[in-house]
A and B are shown apart, each in its own frame.
Chain A
Amino acid sequence: MSIKKYFTGMIVTVICLYAGLAMAGNIVITGSTTVLPIAQKVAEAYMSQNPDVKISISGGGSGEGIKALIDGTTSIADSSRFIKDSEIKQAVDKGRYPVPFAIAYDCIVPVVHPSNTIVNLTVQQLKGIYKGEIKNWKELGGPDKKIVVISRDTSSGTYEVWEDKVMNKEKVTPAALMQASNGAIVQAVSSNPNAIGYIGIGYVDSSLKTLMVDKVKASAETALNGTFPIHRALYMFTSGWPKGDTLNFINFMLNPQKGQKYLKEEGFVPLY
């Protein structure tokens, strides 16, 4: 599943890049790999209902997306974090005013190998593990095995949320294995009985065991009512208030019967 996601993502990116060159699409979307599956799913539905509109989608990362928005090469920038002050300044210098649209919520879920006996960890315990203070599963009531800490790269939006909500601005131990994508974490954790990692809820599959945090299970409900502690909003940015097809697409995305319904099917948390 994870491998499939990884590759479909890559293939779609390549095809869309190519399509973007071959025929100037009406809407160009680029940015965060976390938002990519949402954008793909919703764009497919939108295009089947509006056959005259062409949407080209690519990944690349939140920073890439916002850079493209600043340069004016994309209509919509996907981002798994809010835009930074420095980026706003650059955009304004070029006469563009980024407008944010929160399009979905995402829970970031700690995951372990299915053979792991732990079911619940507190935020404090997670922090201890990621700071490198808790080094053995024995200390948490598990077997006498070293904990293999797996984290996202420091520059990913997911890492920033983790740092903010779990680490309380303290640093993740340098001994943590830094993986470049959600898919890579799924792969690494599912093949290592001693590992712990964290991923966006849309990437959870049966090869992993999700942990409860402070005795709360991650789900759409707990993310929306705020009881699950590690959640964030996902964004789409446009340059200035959107017009024409881009506006229609954003409206479609935010429509509870349309975009929001489709992204829920993909495992993400809708806004309402």
Chain B
Amino acid sequence: MFKDQHKGKSRRIKEQWIKASFFIVAFASISVLALIVIFLFMEGLPIFSKVTVKDFIFGHYWYPTSEPPDFGIFPLIIASLAVTVISSLISIPLGVFTALYLAEVASQRLREWVKPMVELLAALPSVVIGFFGMVVVAPFLQNALDIPVGLNLFNASLMLAFMSVPTICSISEDAIFSVPRELKEASLALGATRWETIWRVILPASISGISTAIILGMSRAIGETMVVLMVAGGAAMIPSSIFDPVRPMPASIAAEMAEAPFRGDHYYALFATGIVLFLFTMIFNMVADYISNRFRQVGASTL
């Protein structure tokens, strides 16, 4: 009796310990995030004593080292949005259709082959993709299209699309694959063709997963640094065509931070650019979260 009680107590203590250690582990990543955010804001906000928020965000000139300096990141924001949008125009159809093909059309054997291949694309280091864009794609674009410079918005978008396709494809494929089988069978039993089934039943049923995939793919594109640093060209102007060089926010931060005088205005301005970038990716993630909750795929009954 006594022994049992003792055993129960030690088990409870053990339980408590395990619970506490899991809590600490879970909390560690959150506190790291919190510390980074606090640091980002502490180092970024001082710039707004020199320029107004409006001039910083909508200013057209970025000359951080001139006398007097210009801290306008509007061309940088436009560049980031432009590469994200254009790369999504390439990566969304590629990613989603590959996912549909793999989940619904391809044979089991082919699927087992192709899916790891696509996922392997995600394992390519971004510096390798950037190098490819710089050394192979840029001269090719220059010669094939007879444009002045191959390091441009289009090249960067193309390289970023390569990077988002695996994310979009892999997550979409999981979503499509997990559509209940009875939905598909019911549709086919009603006389729908395979295409009609995919278009009218499978796609709507997995739209929440696909949307999440797309947004995660896009947030990968907007935050990607190495590729845009290497292939976007780096001109801080608002592009007038897709073959103009641009300078997205991460490229600017990465290129300039090393040489910026410590705790000078330029340093603060780069951190403030980091805040803007952080807000963008946060919005992307919140939208992804909202969509995946709003259109949650509960089961066959939700359709």
Interface size, A (range): 35 or more
With an 8 A cutoff between CB atoms, is A244 at the interface?
A: no
With an 8 A cutoff between CB atoms, is A171 at the interface?
A: yes
With an 8 A cutoff between CB atoms, is B260 at the interface?
A: yes
- A179 contacts across to B, CB distance below 8 A: 234
Q: Is there an interface contact between A194 and B262, defined as CB atoms closer than 8 Å?
A: no
Q: Among the listed A86, A148, A155, A187, which residue makes an inter-chain contact with B259, where contact means beta carbons less than 8 Å apart? A: A155
- A153 contacts across to B, CB distance below 8 A: 234, 255-256, 259
- Against A, the Cβ 8 Å flags (1 = close, 0 = not) of B245-280 are 101000000111111111110100000000000000
Q: Is there an interface contact between A63 and B254, defined as CB atoms closer than 8 Å?
A: no
With an 8 A cutoff between CB atoms, is B295 at the interface?
A: no
Q: Is there an interface contact between A87 and B135, defined as CB atoms closer than 8 Å?
A: no
**Docked pose: A174 CA to B70 CA in angstroms:** 12
With an 8 A cutoff between CB atoms, is A50 at the interface?
A: no
Smallest CB–CB gap between A149 and chain B, Å? 9
With an 8 A cutoff between CB atoms, is A180 at the interface?
A: yes
**Docked pose: A179 CA to B75 CA in angstroms:** 17
Q: Among the listed A155, A175, A176, A194, which residue makes an inter-chain contact with B65, where contact means beta carbons less than 8 Å apart? A: A155
Tell me the residues in window 41-88 of chain A with beta carbons closer than 8 Å to chain B beta carbons.
Answer: 60-64, 66-67, 70, 84, 86-87
- Against A, the Cβ 8 Å flags (1 = close, 0 = not) of B43-71 are 00000000000000000011111110000
Q: Among the listed A67, A70, A188, A194, which residue makes an inter-chain contact with B148, where contact means beta carbons less than 8 Å apart? A: A194
Smallest CB–CB gap between B226 and chain A, Å? 10
Q: Is there an interface contact between B149 and A66, defined as CB atoms closer than 8 Å?
A: no
With an 8 A cutoff between CB atoms, is A5 at the interface?
A: no
CB-based nearest B residue for A158: B259
- How many residue pairs, one in A and one in B, have C-beta atoms under 8 Å apart? 101
Smallest CB–CB gap between A29 and chain B, Å? 15
Q: Is there an interface contact between B259 and A175, defined as CB atoms closer than 8 Å?
A: no
Q: A169-B67, A178-B236, A192-B149 are in contact. Are A155 and B260 (CB under 8 A)?
A: yes
Q: Among the listed A86, A145, A169, which residue makes an inter-chain contact with B261, where contact means beta carbons less than 8 Å apart? A: A86
With an 8 A cutoff between CB atoms, is B207 at the interface?
A: no
Q: A177-B245, A192-B142 are in contact. Are A84 and B261 (CB under 8 A)?
A: yes
Q: Among the listed A62, A148, A178, which residue makes an inter-chain contact with B255, where contact means beta carbons less than 8 Å apart? A: A178
Q: Is there an interface contact between B264 and A178, defined as CB atoms closer than 8 Å?
A: no
- B148 contacts across to A, CB distance below 8 A: 145-146, 148, 192, 194
- A155 contacts across to B, CB distance below 8 A: 64-65, 255-256, 258-260, 266
Q: Is there an interface contact between A66 and B262, defined as CB atoms closer than 8 Å?
A: yes
With an 8 A cutoff between CB atoms, is B235 at the interface?
A: yes
- Against B, the Cβ 8 Å flags (1 = close, 0 = not) of A175-210 are 111111000100110011011000000000000000
With an 8 A cutoff between CB atoms, is A116 at the interface?
A: no
- A86 contacts across to B, CB distance below 8 A: 261, 264
With an 8 A cutoff between CB atoms, is A90 at the interface?
A: yes
Q: A86-B264, A87-B262 are in contact. Are A154 and B149 (CB under 8 A)?
A: no
We find that the number of chain B residues with CB closer than 8 angstroms to chain A is 38
With an 8 A cutoff between CB atoms, is A98 at the interface?
A: no
Smallest CB–CB gap between A176 and chain B, Å? 6
With an 8 A cutoff between CB atoms, is B230 at the interface?
A: yes
Q: Is there an interface contact between A177 and B62, defined as CB atoms closer than 8 Å?
A: no
With an 8 A cutoff between CB atoms, is A159 at the interface?
A: yes
Q: A176-B235, A191-B135 are in contact. Are A154 and B264 (CB under 8 A)?
A: no
With an 8 A cutoff between CB atoms, is B134 at the interface?
A: yes
Smallest CB–CB gap between A64 and chain B, Å? 5
Q: Is there an interface contact between B66 and A171, defined as CB atoms closer than 8 Å?
A: yes
With an 8 A cutoff between CB atoms, is B237 at the interface?
A: yes
With an 8 A cutoff between CB atoms, is A156 at the interface?
A: yes
- B62 contacts across to A, CB distance below 8 A: 154, 174
Q: Is there an interface contact between B138 and A64, defined as CB atoms closer than 8 Å?
A: no
- A177 contacts across to B, CB distance below 8 A: 149, 151, 233-235, 245
- Against A, the Cβ 8 Å flags (1 = close, 0 = not) of B219-236 are 000000000011001111
Smallest CB–CB gap between B275 and chain A, Å? 19
Tell me the residues in window 129-160 of chain B with beta carbons closer than 8 Å to chain A beta carbons.
Answer: 134-135, 138-139, 142, 148-151
**Docked pose: A183 CA to B260 CA in angstroms:** 20
Q: Among the listed A61, A145, A184, which residue makes an inter-chain contact with B258, where contact means beta carbons less than 8 Å apart? A: A61
Query: Which of B66, B245, B255 lies at the interface centre, i.e. has the most chain A CB atoms within 10 A of its CB?
Result: B255
Q: Is there an interface contact between B149 and A194, defined as CB atoms closer than 8 Å?
A: yes
A-B contact pairs, 5 of them (CB 8 A): A66-B262, A148-B149, A155-B256, A177-B245, A192-B142
Additional A-B contact list (11), CB under 8 Å, known A178-B247, A180-B229: A61-B257, A62-B259, A86-B264, A171-B66, A174-B237, A175-B235, A175-B237, A177-B235, A178-B235, A180-B255, A192-B150
8 closest A-B pairs by CB: A61-B258, A178-B234, A155-B259, A174-B237, A67-B262, A180-B255, A155-B256, A61-B259
Q: Which residues of A contact B (CB under 8 A)?
A: 60-64, 66-67, 70, 84, 86-87, 90, 145-146, 148, 153-157, 159-160, 163, 169, 171, 174-180, 184, 187-188, 191-192, 194-195
